[in-house]
Amino acid sequence: MYIPRHNEETNIKTLQALIRSHPLGAWVTMGEDELLANHIPFLLDTSRGQYGTLIAHIARANPAWQLYSKTIPSVVLFQGAETYITPSWYPSKQLHGKTVPTWNYVVVHAHGIPNIIEDKEWIRESVRRLTDQQEGSQATSWKVSDAPSDYVERLLGGIVGLEIPITALVGKWKVSQDKPEADRLGVIAGLSASEEGQANIMAHLVQNGGFHP
């Protein structure tokens, strides 16, 4: 990923926080003769490895778990807030007109060689942990044990575990850091007035220089 210096985010806790808040990752690996891409929710275990370990599961019917590269690191892409930025928000547009549209976004790429795990108890525990992570914010939380045990056993038989020890964690925070202060303030005001879903999150990121989760 191309990252200008002013867009580079290196704080590990910030990168890990984005993964936790946007756990649906795009897992990309080299197959036999093509790239394989799958969108999978991940659990991040920060207690294992310098950057943490990604834990997930995929359908046994998905050929990726047999075709993935065991020698070339996979990359998992985690997309955070993203918004279109109109030059109409820049005061500099009125001064000299030398402005163009752009797109602000925050993204984390996690690299590592995957391991496939078929141990049923490992898979059961990883599913429980992922479920508990996502259900924690629900008014009425659902637990794996709420479903009939025979139903759960049948579903567990249809998935395999996926574990990716992270060997490189790369972050890009493109949040108007290269703009003069007046234009950044214009972006914040424009985003704050917008009804677009992620606008307020991006306004916060621009206001804080992008170096916060």
The vertex-158 CA angle with 155 and 164, nearest 5°, equals: 110
Residues 6+ apart with CB under 8 A from 113: 70, 71, 73, 74, 164, 165, 167
DSSP state of 72: S
Torsion 203-178-168-27 (CA) sign:
positive
For the stretch 13-41, pLDDT in tens is 999 999 999 999 999 999 989 999 999 99
Answer yes or no: is pLDDT of 213 > 50: no
Tell me, what's the pLDDT at 211? 53
Number of other residues whose CB lies within 10 A of the CB of residue 60:
13
Whole-number Å distance between alpha carbons of 60 and 74: 19
Lowest mean pLDDT among 47-51, 154-158, 205-209: 205-209
Instruction: Identify the band that residue 210 occupies on the pLDDT scale cut at 50, 70 and 90.
Output: low
The model's pTM = 0.91
CATH numbers and ranges of domains, the chain: 5-205 (2.30.110.10)
